[in-house]
Amino acid sequence: MITIKSQREIELMRTAGRVVAEVLHVLEQAVRPGITTAELDKIAEKHIRKANCQPAFLGYQGFPASICASVNEEVVHGIPSLRKLKEGDIVSIDVGAVFQGYYGDAAATFPVGEIDEESLRLIDVTRDSLYRGIAMARSGNRLTDISHAVQEYVEQHGFSVVRDYVGHGIGNQMHEEPQVPNFGKPGRGPRLQAGMALAIEPMVNSGTWRVETLQDNWTVVTLDRKRSAHFEHTVIITDGEPVITTAL
């Protein structure tokens, strides 16, 4: 069942979302050659707790950190480690925070120093595909209007969308119904209405859309080991423009 959020719930989600946005902003400034993804995780956890929130990912199905940090060919769910970021890398950071039981979830891919043209384009297309999806998140539209808009934009630019992982409803749980795929025909699935909350999160690969999970049972990588980017926002449907709770 897709829940409709009350005004009070929306306010709590906006608080959680704002903290997630702040964390991503702080991490964007911190990303540079030589920093480890474990250091980024520490910065995130400190910020989340200082804002009276809890890290949503820490302990989730046993996940050992407050952020996911996925480098280059890693798509999602990378575990922060002592790996140092290098000039030319790209790093996808996914952050979740809970405020008084309500969730915010967002992700962004950042360049580490100077990166090649293709990686820059991958990042831009993935970010823009998220906004194409968000533009369809309006009451009266159908769920897969979002999915279709993302896929069409990504494929027009010669990249591919991951099929195995999708966006999701969100509220007083991190993952609620419905699933929000980044591919598929338009005009399918539930009709969107004011008060629905969705985490829309295109994962875009520069080569094949196929992925596999590494031996650590978390890190998802592209099958061809080409690079991948990930952008996500938590969005609440209204009778007008969607509210992006995880935007600053």
**Residues interacting with Mg ion, by CB under 5 A?**
105, 199
Shortest distance in whole angstroms from residue 96 CB to Mg ion: 7
Specify the residue, 22 or 94, whose C-beta has the smaller distance to Mg ion.
94
DSSP symbols for 108-167: EEEE-SS--HHHHHHHHHHHHHHHHHHHT--TTSBHHHHHHHHHHHHHHTT-EE-SS--E
Shortest distance in whole angstroms from residue 200 CB to Mg ion: 9
Specify the residue, 168 or 227, whose C-beta has the smaller distance to Mg ion.
168
Q: What angle do CA 188, 13, 178 make, to 5 degrees?
A: 20
Q: What angle do CA 33, 37, 42 make, to 5 degrees?
A: 120
What's the rounded Cα separation, in Å, for the pair 203 and 139? 24
Shortest distance in whole angstroms from residue 107 CB to Mg ion: 7
| CA 28 to chain centroid | 15
Specify the residue, 59 or 158, whose C-beta has the smaller distance to Mg ion.
59
Residue 30, φ and ψ in degrees, nearest 5 = -80, -25
What's the rounded Cα separation, in Å, for the pair 172 and 120? 35
Shortest distance in whole angstroms from residue 130 CB to Mg ion: 12
For residue 125, is it left (φ>0), alpha (ψ between -120 and 50) or beta? alpha
Shortest distance in whole angstroms from residue 94 CB to Mg ion: 7
Give the pair of three-digit tokens for residue 215: 């031996």
Shortest distance in whole angstroms from residue 2 CB to Mg ion: 16
